[in-house]
Structure 1
């Protein structure tokens, strides 16, 4: 029944729709000719009125004399009437356009008018530009009644303003919206200010971070330079130890020995250049530049002087090579060969201050100039003089270092300090000058001035190594092999003089004391052996099989005679009662003994550097993996010594007898091997 009722209502609706459509079609067909005739009449009327308005406007706008001031009211009335007439004409034109427009144009015009009205309304309500484009259908809030005014009656009653009319409420809402808008602008301004301050703080933090990173980078650079310097020194030590030292290694060792209290270098640093070729010296100059960069200003005077001397030696060698080939070396370099020996004799043997005075005198002579002055000769002298000045600086520095170290050694030993090198005092030129000695005159007349001679109160010339050698040769040629007899005036003030009889009596007393005590029969080695044998048990045996080492060159071999140290070693043996030995052996028939540990006692009584502790190195045995090589290294004058031991893991705990110490000239290394227990 319900289905039949629904179908009937649907049929009825369909019939009604068909009737309405047919009626609308009939009306439109009957009214279409009338509507066309009306449109044509309206267009003709519109054209006629336009032509009339144009003629009237032209007549009005035609030039006419201005009316007098006393008759302004008729003109004003005329203009007012004209304006009213134009307004009426405009209204008629608008009405005609409305009559002639199509339905689409009409709809668009009404929508534009409605939008303009809504915009004006929103402006009155205080909406901003960002909310002007919102409509009921197009807004981000999903509000279908956005353009309508919501009235909250309960809130108005609670606030006591429900009696206000709609206009007052709109004004009130407008003020509230304006206040909210101003507050929003303030909040936005504060937010922008906070963002600006935050950006400034971030920028400051970034700058601080950059400064910290720059400081860290600077420290990293310094650490990297220090690391490279230490690596360079380590490479130098390894090359020196292996007997393949380069000149830069010897120079680095020399400059580092100045900071060491016990290391003594007897030769000047420029003596390391003897026997080098041109390519070796060029490599040395590059290595010196690397050391100067790594040390960052430390020892810069030393490296600069060595660079000057090396470059001078390179120039000399190249000149010799060129002269040997008969090429450009024959050309004149400012100093004749016959004069060169005289020039060298002038420069040789002078101190740095004297050479500096010569240098200043030659420079002033070159600046003064003259018609007969040989500039090439004097400039060549300056170049040679720079090398001599560098050698003099290094020589004086070397002698100062030796004096300081000798003074420290004598202070440690309680001996009063004396002059390290002999001093030659020049004899005064005349008896009148006996109160103050002046330095010896130079063979160059231009370098000796009276003002400089008077300014020096006392001159000293330190004997060089060549002078000492020459003095020894002269003494040998003279045949004076016995010590020279000293007079009472030549003895030092603190010297204790003994008569021959008193010296003989003291010698006899010492001999009698030795005969009574018998201590003279026990040497230093016997004392060491006696100390090493203390505490030797029955399960220990003497171990004295030395492992031969390959020939190794020592840098200190020219100063000290290399020798092997004395030693007294013991090997600790015992039984290992494991499961197998417990099963197959007993105390009456024990198992074979195995090595359980070693005790090494190496004697270094004559070690030069008492503060350097001897070291041991465990190296693999190439022949048999079951054994290892234990090598001991101490320093001059002792060579390395090595032993072949069992290759097992050591027990480093002192509770298991481990000992590694150096005391009273004895280096002791005692250790036992680890015992491994079987665990299921």
Structure 2
């Protein structure tokens, strides 16, 4: 430090001497007015300002000299042999570690921000789904309420459809659908002849039969309480469709005769390849059978056709169709009789069982007891009289004779 003070004093002496030399007058500048003004301005500066200026400059020089040393050592002269002794130390490893740590923290912050954004989106999605579920739930509730109203309205109209037939039957201007409904509901107390429900299809025009079919479809859609009632309306619909076909065929034949035209060949026969008389005989035979017997015949004919042993397939297909129609007729008749018997039993027992629905409404199919089962495909009448010595005809011979008669009728045409 002593060296620093000595150097500083020497620099101050040199600065003072130079400033004094500057302040001394010089005769060489006398001829120049600008130089005289400059010298005059220098002579006007006080000594105190010059001393202060010199002191400030000395401080700057001392500060500069001091900054180039560490504990009095220089980069060029120090016992450590360190040429970078006066340079500022930078901890690069720490800085790199801090930078890596900052990058890691930055990544973590970005990951947290991304998680927050995703959670916000998930909450928004859950909110929208919740709102949609709420809307759907409200819609389902409204639909359930509407269906309840609709069901109540349908039940009201269905009850009205039950009351209207009774009113029309009681007043004497019944419709065909009222007769069928009366048979199904057992309206035997009314002063109306209700013997055979199939008779309502007879004598109707095409328009009336189509209206009856619409009424049957309406009851079929509404009356789904019991299986027997649905089967009843299905059977009525089958018979109605058959009668519509017959009525349309009859109208077409009448129009052809009125216009003097030759009826089409398909109108002259109910079924292609089978004469009307044969179909009539088959239908008359089947109408005498009970529902159970018709079911047995139907299954026998189907199994016989499925075996491939039938020679005239068209004929037996016509027989199957007639069996289905006759089964529907038999079902309507037997169901009506069964329900009337239930009604009579209830009236005899008393008011405890005034509702026919308390008793099973399954049709009591009356099957006549026979000793001989019908052979497969045979439409021959059963032997109802005779003795044991009477010769029996085999089913094969009977079938061959029946087909020969059918072929003879076709050849006559």
TM-score by length of 2: 0.49
Greater share of helix residues, 1 or 2?
Answer: 2
TM-score by length of 1: 0.31
Greater share of strand residues, 1 or 2?
Answer: 1
**Structure of greater Rg:** 2
